Amino acid sequence: MHDVARSAGVSLKTVSRVINAEPSVADATAARVHEAIGELGFRRNDIARSLRQGSTSATLGLVIEDVTNPFYSAVAQAVESAARERGYLLIIGSCEEDAERERELILALLRRRVDALLLVPAGSPRDQSWLTRELGPSTPIVFVDRPPHGIEADCVLVDNVGGARAAVEHLLGFGHRRIAYVGDPLEMFTAEARFSGYCDALNGAGIAIDSRLVHTASNDVAGSVVSVRELLALTDPPTAIFSGNNRHTVGALRALRGREETIAVVGFDDFELADLLAMPTTVIRHDATRIGAAAAALAFSRLDAADAPPQRVVIETELVPRGSGEVRPRT
């Protein structure tokens, strides 16, 4: 900028004015400055720019588990798209359910003074009270898919209980009585909520929870393949499976592939190709794009007006019957 000023024979401030298209610059001066900018290949430094107090970095931070999971990538896409509309950029970090990594990522983002943080908190420990200290009063945080614990903050959740209940009631409606739960460990918020919906539905039908039918596995496909195999090996195996998220659904389908037995499956989370599978899969759908968009909207409205009670947005779910959930038990 210094060089530009000298080359154009003006002061720094004038260059600044030209860069930012401020009105009060003589056309001739502006032209000279532009020329110098072109020659010198000058480019404004937004880092220096954002250093001024009261100014923003125009950056959002998003911390998720893993971009590879289609649910999170849809969320990320929606957040990025909302960010772009406001001229913001998005820094994405994956923490892979590792609380320590999550913490480091968040601190790194805060050191960079992101204007707001969107977080899918690791499943455990379910306590983010430490964030209160770190965030300070000026950095809003929005919790995505899992609620805050030990800190007051906006969040966007899915109607986990309702969705799970609908899934299990659907299976009950087709005559199933032995319905398994395959999902994340229950200390995870979404798992707990979905399991609770599962229990609600069974209890509503006067069916006791059979703990042998409840399998939790870490959130990976391989784990639930094993779970489902174990379920099938029971002397009195389930006739239906409710799977707790898209990873577990894929695991279940993988375990069931090529099996003689037809076992009903309803999965939480929709996924591409669910309708083209050998067993077109009935799912509880919810709109990941809406989740991301809502989270971004909360972040921005918090930036626009800091003081308002924390908001909690709940995205509803919808059962999409495709075949796998409409199988009656063998009689």
Partner DNA sequence: TTGTAGGCGTTATCAA
Partner DNA sequence: TTGATAACGCCTACAA
* Residue ranges that bind its own copies, judged by CB under 8 A: 41, 43-48, 50-51, 57, 59, 66-68, 70, 73-74, 76-77, 80-81, 84, 89-94, 107-113, 133-134, 136, 250, 253-254, 257, 271-273, 275-280
Size of the site for DNA (CB under 7 A): 28
Q: Is residue 19 a contact residue for DNA (CB under 7 A)?
A: yes
Least distance from its own copies to the Cβ atom of residue 167, Å: 20
User: According to CB under 7 A, which one of 6, 7, 29, 174 is a site residue for DNA?
Assistant: 29
* Rounded Cα distance, 68 and 246, in Å: 12
Report which DSSP code applies to 320. Answer: E
Q: Which residue has the tokens 């290949």?
A: 41
What are the beta bridge partners of residue 283? Answer: 267, 320
Least distance from DNA to the Cβ atom of residue 30, Å: 7
Nearer to DNA, 10 or 171 (CB): 10
Measured in degrees and rounded to the nearest 5, phi and psi for residue 321 equal -75, 130
Quick check: helix, strand or coil at residue 150? coil
Torsion of CA 314, 183, 169, 253, to 10 degrees: 120
* Rounded Cα distance, 247 and 198, in Å: 18
Stretch that binds DNA, among 16-24, 60-68, 117-125, 293-301 (CB under 7 A): 16-24
Least distance from its own copies to the Cβ atom of residue 70, Å: 7
Report which DSSP code applies to 129. Answer: T
* Rounded Cα distance, 247 and 220, in Å: 6
Q: Is residue 68 a contact residue for DNA (CB under 7 A)?
A: no
Q: Is residue 87 a contact residue for DNA (CB under 7 A)?
A: no
Least distance from its own copies to the Cβ atom of residue 59, Å: 8
